[in-house]
Amino acid sequence: MNERELLAQGALLLGIELDQKQINQLLRYKELLLEWNQKLNLTAITDDREIITKHFLDCLTVNKATNMKDIKTLIDIGTGAGFPGLVIKIVYPHIDIILVDALNKRLNFLNEVIRELKLEKISCVHSRAEDLGKKEEYREAFDMCASRAVANLAVLSEYTLPFVKQGGYLLALKGQKLDEELEQGSKAIQILGGKLEEIVDATVPFTELNHRIAKIIKVNKTAKKYPRKAGEPTKNPLGV
């Protein structure tokens, strides 16, 4: 199976039909990632096929947790090299997306990919989640926050739930430690106005990876005092 087939068939297994433009964009994204990775520390995965499976298809497991067609605005907190937000943008171009990361160097890479692929309705913000979450225009402003590999759920909820509208969702792409994280983090989720709606298990096609996606609905507004100041959520996780 060549790379195009790997991508197309893997996406189909997740219920997504990619068109040729999207496949070209994802493969170009992969090339840029490998190129920039020689200068910046963007990813530990450097095999072409593994980038397709363990980054691209991995991010697209979100399709198993929700109907992405219903989402209009999305924020990705701690996006790193664009996972999952930039992959979501390519595959669901109708969504308005904000990518957030505390490391500016990574944003330079993301802006280059956005420019090369001529992506619209997507922007990058250099900030810590705790600072951005205090800004009025970002608070309770998004249908969805999607996040992968940033922090445990107790901390991640404080980073992300302030951005989500009431009735919107946090999708936390997690692994096999989710139950443990939920035990620790359920109090924080509740304090911040969220409620676990569902855990969705999703296998990443052509890998041994099994994701567990925590689908958390925002039921109440987040109190103004959250997020606390930068660093505080990790130092002293809520409700733990």
- Site for ligand SAM, rule CB under 6 A: 77-81, 83, 100-103, 106, 128-130, 148-150, 159
- For the chain, where are the alpha helices, taking DSSP H only? 3-13, 20-37, 48-50, 58-60, 62-65, 85-91, 104-116, 129-132, 153-160, 178-191, 232-235
Which tokens in the block code for residue 56?
């691209």
Tokens of 210: 């099994």
Residue nearest to ligand SAM (CB): 80
Burial state string for 58-87 with b = 16 or more CB within 10 A and e = fewer than 16: bbbbbbebbebeebebbbbbbbbbbbbbbb
Nearer to ligand SAM, 21 or 229 (CB): 229
Between 29 and 83, name the residue whose CB sits nearer to ligand SAM.
83
Least spacing, CB of residue 77 vs ligand SAM, in Å: 6
In the numeric block, which tokens belong to residue 222?
Answer: 């987040």
Residue 87 tokens, joined: 């992959």
Nearest approach, Cβ of 218 to ligand SAM (angstroms)? 19
Identify the residue whose tokens are 């990876």. Answer: 209
Element (H, E) at 97: strand 96-101
Cβ closest to ligand SAM, residue 130 vs residue 143? 130
Residue closer to ligand SAM, measured from CB, 101 or 143: 101
CB of residue 229 vs ligand SAM: minimum separation in angstroms?
A: 11
Query: Least separation, in Å, of the C-beta of 217 and ligand SAM?
Result: 22
Given the complex with ligand SAM, which of 84 and 168 has the nearer CB atom? 84
Report yes or no: 34 and 46 within 8 Å, Cβ to Cβ.
yes
Minimum CB distance to ligand SAM smaller for 21 or for 137: 137
Residue 148: both structure tokens together? 């992968």
Rounded to the nearest 10°, the torsion over CA 116, 121, 127, 133 is: -160
* Nearer to ligand SAM among residue 16 and residue 110 (C-beta): 110
* Shortest separation between residue 155's beta carbon and ligand SAM, angstroms: 8
- Smallest gap from residue 226 Cβ to ligand SAM (A): 13
Least distance between ligand SAM and beta carbon 109 (Å): 11
CB under 8 Å to 41, separation ≥6 — which residues? none
